[in-house]
A and B are shown apart, each in its own frame.
Chain A
Amino acid sequence: MSLKLKALTKSIWVFHLAAAPCNNCDIEILDALTPKFDLERFGIQLVGSVRHADAILVTGSMNRKSAERLKRVISQAPKPCFVIAIGNCSCSTEMFGKSYNETQPLDSVVPVDAYIMGCPPKPEAMIQGVVALIQSKLAAVKK
């Protein structure tokens, strides 16, 4: 188990799931994957299919329509797979909370492993969030 988890933390393939965002967080996610930040140093790669995903980055506020589709996509990911809420919208619905289309925070739809706040969060914040997630998972195994 420990070997599996160690390999997982050294090779995180992320899948980018946009659930009705304003596109701001998505652009910051793409920024984090550019040569300047070079996430491949830590084995982090962007993949196009949810079947390859180890971490799913969710942006945007879940509304009535996107929440169902989000559940379906996340249930298709092979386990173990982590869900990371990126941006204030997916963490807390931000200013769309009282909208007519019943937006809700991500953790009321699916269990969330890490929250990265910001509107939008900086690439550095995302890297720190992922590192914190890795450390917490490793620490949980050591106990």
Chain B
Amino acid sequence: MNAALVNVLEAAGFVVAGFVVAAVVGMFAHWFDRKITARVQWRVGPPFFQPVYDFVKLLGKEVVIPEGASRALFLSAPLFGLAAVTVVTAMLLRTIIFPDQTFLGDLIVVIYLLTIPSQALVLGAFASANPFASIGGSREVKLMLSYELPFILAIVVAIIRTDGSIRLGEIIQAQTVVRPVVASFSGAIAFVISLLVLQAKLAKVPFDAPEAETEIMGGVYIEYSGAALALFKLTNWMMQFTVPLFLIILFLGGIDFRDSWLSVMWAVLEYLGILLFMVLIRNTNPRLRIDQVMKFFWGIVTPFGVLAVVLALLGL
């Protein structure tokens, strides 16, 4: 077999593995979210396989295409988001397994790919020709504008702390040699910022203005039904695995499979901790208006991001 074929097969293997791992863990994350929410409200909560039931049910339902909608864009938008999150997960998994074989600038590719699910949501919302979806779509765009700048600043802190590398593999290796990025003053600030951005990226309360159930009835999702809705939901669940994994790589030193099993257990605990933090924020805060979200991210979070970058440059 020639080398090119092996490379293609390996890439395909990682894409399939990325999809399966992200889908399974993402469904678990969704169940975890709902179960913890239920326990916070003193309820029993859904059974463990609830996300599977939801997904299978949605696949089996009719897909209604609304009158006046742009048919091709309406149906293809969920695929863009799903494809992007699958590729990101494949890249991150490969980075964890072979940290010394990543390509230069993969960090930047991941940052770009992570914005695609939100963009797909906006496209789908605008294509569905529904006024509520349009409001939701415009809010989603504003939300992206709000959180991307502090997110980039937080990532810049991680780059500075790991000797200016934009290779994810080198970021992981630099952290295993010295110490994780989060174990410094600037790194801790950047990590907290990225947790807030995570909340907004997944459109969870208090940053769920684009899909506000009670005011714009699901907003961006309002016209979606059946399999198309299932793909959007699956993308969101997969993001609940992929974005925390990205943060673990950037700030907490990644997962080292060649080390003892303790390292893997520790990474699982870190992931559950991030999820739990997200769910508790979601359950203890009211929804912010979109202008409040922008003020929060640009007025409070971004200055802290700049501060973290300055501190990192000073070596703190």
Q: Please list the residues of chain A having a beta carbon within 8 angstroms of any beta carbon in chain B.
A: 3-4, 7-8, 10-11, 35, 38, 40-41, 43, 47-49, 51-52, 54, 76, 78-80
Contact = CB atoms under 8 A, between A and B. Distances in A.
Contact of A38 (B38, B52, B54): B38
Contacts of B288: none
Interface of B: 34, 38, 41-47, 49-50, 52-54, 56-57, 59-64, 213-214, 217-218, 221-226, 229
B57 A8 contact: yes
Given A43-B47, A52-B225, A76-B64, A7 B41 contact: no
A35 B21 CA distance: 32
B223 A43 contact: no
Contacts of A51: 64, 222-225, 229
B64 A35 contact: no
Nearest to A48: B217
A52 B45 contact: no
Given A7-B60, A35-B42, A43 B225 contact: no
A133 to B, nearest CB: 15
User: Which of B49, B223, B225 neighbours the largest number of chain A CB atoms within 10 Å of its CB?
Assistant: B225
A48 B208 CA distance: 15
B136 to A, nearest CB: 11
Q: State the main secondary structure of chain B at its contact with A.
A: loop
Q: State the main secondary structure of chain A at its contact with B.
A: loop
B61 A79 contact: yes
Contact of B214 (A8, A35, A48, A54): A48
Nearest to A40: B46
Contact of A41 (B44, B60, B213, B225): B44
A35 B57 contact: no
Given A4-B59, A51-B223, A52-B225, 9 more contacts: A4-B56, A7-B52, A7-B56, A10-B50, A38-B44, A43-B54, A47-B213, A48-B222, A79-B61
A111 to B, nearest CB: 17
User: Which of B43, B218, B224 neighbours the largest number of chain A CB atoms within 10 Å of its CB?
Assistant: B43
Nearest to A10: B53
Contacts of B53: 7, 10-11, 43
